[in-house]
Structure 1
């Protein structure tokens, strides 16, 4: 009996983890949590491989007793297993050293130094441990092949594929180790190490199944299936596509002809090498759910078994933002409070710069800044650092809008005789303006027009908002039905280069 594909082919989709880890360097804290989920899934797959591989040697030994010439195949199982386990122990040693050097584990099992980029760069790149890992990986394929009969080695070499990605040669990196580990957070490298171990355990399974076939055993169908989703990104931005691979996590021989059908939310998804690549638009934000089912058809018995699982992912907006706390513009002459955030980036790493309209920034607290500008136009605020690509936000800059002249809080109309005489001057009031800014009245001309038949109009020029002697004298003569006009009112607000005329205000005395 047999099942889908050999373990190496079944798990080849996990290569996407390398890309995911590289992408995750510059994204939000949610992705670091996704690393833990991915690593946990890989460890579970490796545990299944270990368990399945442990069942094969006793079966091979049992079948080899039939003929003396088959004993050599049973004798090869132990060194094959040791080759795999020794390499896994070596990889675990690299990981454990870096975890110990960065403080061990938190209470939830997460490495304390999960964001640490120095340990991976220094230990794996500068101290050449990554180069040693690469060389060991390159030598493993030949070591496994020595347990294959010479006449079968060429065929089996295509199936024992412990892959060392050579794409680094097309980059500006100097080595495979620098390409994979330089400036990578510790947590981002751990799925890579689990992927490497998975390749080796898959190679072990391939060789053991080969030895099983040589002693007359049938390929084994493993009944421990699990539907797995591998998302290219665990948290995506609205407008970007959500992409994921769905595959059946198990072990299989190279000769498997098992048919696999995969459906997501009821729709069939094309399957290639045991993997269904899924793509969906992201037109709205929030948590989304996917229901996946995998139907496995046994090529020998024709029996069909369906395995289902549900998965979720989240669609969100971009996490970096700059917002004006009071208005969507920056005003000349006042402090403009700003809120600046960038999820997943330390405040110590976040760099904030500004240009245009004479803008200057001062930090007032965590995520809080004050911006001042000296002229009208446009200003730009740019966020970068901590892996965030430079992101620029544009703001308009304006002068403070014209105030209105008021007396006792009124902008014209009727006013009682007593209230009118009690005022000491004219004020310039900014309406619907949230900033703490005060405008000064520079000058105006007051006209008193007595009620008909009681006298002629009289004018008084006044400097400043407070009444001068002549102006106060006109105010004191107010009586019912008189009219007062404050004309050519000139004011000056913060940030204005000169004063300006803001119009006229008039009152009728009651």
Structure 2
């Protein structure tokens, strides 16, 4: 803009451009300073939240340590030591922030905190550190070393903490620079304040991570909501069909380590305790509503504390209808033996009789095999004799389905396959039934092969014949050879007609 002869008007315009660019640079610098200030505010808020969370966690652990010292005593001592170290270091960092900001008329006027001389004079003297600068480094390294000492060098968290509070020399250009110079010398005041707040956040994070690491998940299991389970409390123990269910769902907390001093149920002392609960095992009793009453007794502050047990359950008569289920699915398939279990609750299997076309008993324990014939549905009729001599009967309809169409395969791959001509000539054409619950063996009896530009070749068996190989030899790279009309038979039941398998396409490499 300043080269050559310029008119006074042009010189004025150029000068205005320079002033404008300088103003933009100043505004950008002010915006950056404000950004540091706003970041510092956010970090301060996060630190407050983290402090509350850590305090609550430590308080819960203290309560647990008092109630169960064998389980939580040592853990609480370590956590408490970590907490005190973190408090001391955080307070030291806060004192540094207060020192740097004490002469600021408005601590939120971030755009005025662009000077670096206050920090530089506090931490550096010529090419050395001041006493305050060396103390700052010692505080960081001291906190790091003491925390790692408590955790132990083999704790995975120790390596994270060492890296988080690393004060070793930093790379700068082709050489290195001391960490303190690299992070604080010549930087605006607001960036230093933000860095100190960020380090406080690192302390809070470290404290939280250490609590979890020390407890190994025990604290979270014992004091968090994850240790609660839902308990359904119905209004009554049994409901009739057509009634509305009435009751409530509550949260109950289980603690396997909490042992009662005594449990009494229906006048008897229960001695078997598992996972914090008393295990009950007694005759159900006669039909009707039966009560369960008693108490849990715990010792708290040297005094017995009783928790009442007051519940009930219903005893219902033995059922008089059959339960019929297909072991594999809710239908029976034609052409294969379908295993079934047939029984009537409350009646021995030898007093239960099941009949249906194609149904045969294979053992005396309610096991049957259904081999359906023609039609789309079969009815299984079941009868039995109750212990009192009364006869009961029931029936159930089952749908009859054909075996689904299989998928064609080439070299045991289905759909679209890529291979060279030489591999295709020697490949085996097969069939499979994916996601079919029965383990059936199918044998390929024939197929048709079509090469682009060639006539279709019909092949018997599962391997390429000479005509098919001759046709494949004329295929070009990129051609898609189609294998279709794939026929197969069911091994062991050649009389059942299997549907043609889906085609396979082979792209020649």
Per the normalisation by structure 1, the TM-score is 0.35
Structure scoring higher RCO (CA < 8 A, sep ≥ 6) equals: 1
Per the normalisation by structure 2, the TM-score is 0.35
* Larger Rg, first or second structure (1 or 2): 2
